[in-house]
């Protein structure tokens, strides 16, 4: 017999409440994008000769970001870990004391260290990707001089491009980290899998509406994007707001 942490099968609200950490994380990452814009737009517009300097500055900025990235990722993950534990405890009031202790004492340290490393890499990738973009656009300008003004405009838009990437990272990574932490605690008590839950609004992608309410094993993520064939747990694919409702051993 399989029971769920949240016994209301049609429940739409993620018990971990991700909106606040996502907003906070997004605000911090967009600060990086703002600095990318400052670095790029500090040079005369349309002058391609400055592109190598811009590229070098962005790469140095990425290198200098690591300590800040560590602190920012740690705050987000600490908040998520606390919310995840609270959600488990609130939904597990009728569990035995031994089972609650197992959930509370789940070895999440290694999971958090892995997530931390991944977040730092993603954070520092924002200016690195901007540098790669400037490099690519510069080469395109050398190959096609007739597009020089268009390419110069695209270089000036680097801050906006970085801001879009920062928002995507925050939205996807907060959800993904939440699911990974949930899985770590679920594994501790022998959970075989979870029920996929979507948020129930009009923005849910069709693929995920089809998955809603279905049971999946932790070691066999479903196809979450039919177009690419990508497999992922809820919240672990780009812009996914779905969440995993863990199944508990009877």
Report domain extents, the chain: 2-190
List the one residue out of 172, 176, 191, 22 whose CA is nearest residue 106. Answer: 191
pLDDT for 200? 87
pLDDT for 250? 64
pLDDT for 94? 61
Collapsing DSSP states into helix, strand and coil, what is residue 234?
Answer: coil
Q: Residues with Cβ < 8 Å from 127, sequence gap 6 or more?
A: 32, 35, 36, 58, 59, 61, 62, 65, 162
Q: How far apart are CA 104 and CA 73, in angstroms?
A: 22
Q: How many helices (H) and strands (E) does the chain have?
A: 8, 6
CA angle 32, 34, 40 (to 5 degrees): 105
pLDDT for 158? 94
Q: Residues with Cβ < 8 Å from 11, sequence gap 6 or more?
A: 197, 245
pLDDT for 209? 95
Q: Name 71's bridge partners.
A: none
pLDDT for 100? 67
Q: Which residues of the chain have pLDDT under 70?
A: 1-13, 46, 92-106, 146, 250
Chain segment 176-232, per-residue pLDDT in tens: 999 999 998 888 888 899 999 999 888 899 999 999 999 999 999 999 999 999 999
pLDDT for 225? 95
Collapsing DSSP states into helix, strand and coil, what is residue 157?
Answer: coil
């Amino acid at each position: 017999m399989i029971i769920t942490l949240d016994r209301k099968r049609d429940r739409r609200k993620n018990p971990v409440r991700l909106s606040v950490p996502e907003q906070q994380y997004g605000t911090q990452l967009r600060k990086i994008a703002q600095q990318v814009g400052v670095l790029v737009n500090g040079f005369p517009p349309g002058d391609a000769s400055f592109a190598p300097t811009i590229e070098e500055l962005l790469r140095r900025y990425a290198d200098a970001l690591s300590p800040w990235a560590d602190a920012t990722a740690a705050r987000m993950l600490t908040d998520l870990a606390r919310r995840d534990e609270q959600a488990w405890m609130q939904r597990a009031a009728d569990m035995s004391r031994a089972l609650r202790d197992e959930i509370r004492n789940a070895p999440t340290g290694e999971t958090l260290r892995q997530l931390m490393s991944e977040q730092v890499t993603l954070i520092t990738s924002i200016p690195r990707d901007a540098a790669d973009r400037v490099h690519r656009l510069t080469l395109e300008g050398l190959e096609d001089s007739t597009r020089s003004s268009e390419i110069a405009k695209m270089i000036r838009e680097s801050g906006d491009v970085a801001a879009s990437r920062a928002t995507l990272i925050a939205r996807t990574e907060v959800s993904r980290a939440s699911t990974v932490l949930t899985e770590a605690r679920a594994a501790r008590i022998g959970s075989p899998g979870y029920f996929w839950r979507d948020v129930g609004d009009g923005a849910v992608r069709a693929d995920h509406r089809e998955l809603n309410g279905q049971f999946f094993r932790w070691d066999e993520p479903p196809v979450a994007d039919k177009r690419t064939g990508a497999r992922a747990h809820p919240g672990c694919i780009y812009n996914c707001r779905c969440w995993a409702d863990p199944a508990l051993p009877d």
